[in-house]
Amino acid sequence: MFKGPLRKEIAVILVIKLLVLLLIKFIWFAQPTVPGLDPQPIVEHVLGSGEKPFEGEPR
């Protein structure tokens, strides 16, 4: 399968990189993250709470 040392080294390096990527995936991305935020303040911030902010006297 491998006819030269360079091909064998490249294949070994690719396998090691694949294993490292899989390890990173399982360590950092194994559990889904669900934010524990209350959606009501976000809705009020994005859509507005119905009150106009006080801007002071016109110039």
Q: Mind listing the pLDDT tens digit for each residue in 29-46?
A: 877 777 777 888 888 888
| pLDDT band with cut points at 50, 70 and 90 for residue 49 | low
- Using the predicted structure, report yes or no on whether residue 1 has a pLDDT greater than 60: no
Range(s) of the domain holding residue 25: 5-47
- Considering the domain boundaries, does residue 59 fall inside one? no
- Using the predicted structure, report yes or no on whether residue 16 has a pLDDT greater than 60: yes
Going from the C-alpha of 51 to that of each of 9, 19, 30, 39, the distances in angstroms are 67, 55, 43, 19
* pTM, to two decimals: 0.48
Domain count, the chain: 1
- Considering the domain boundaries, does residue 54 fall inside one? no
Question: Of 33, 54, 53, which is closest to residue 45 (Cα–Cα)?
Answer: 53
Report how far residue 14's alpha carbon sits from residue 58's, in angstroms, rounded to the nearest whole number.
67
Strand locations in 1-59, DSSP E?
A: none
- Res 6: pLDDT: 92
Determine the average pLDDT of the residues in 7-21: 96
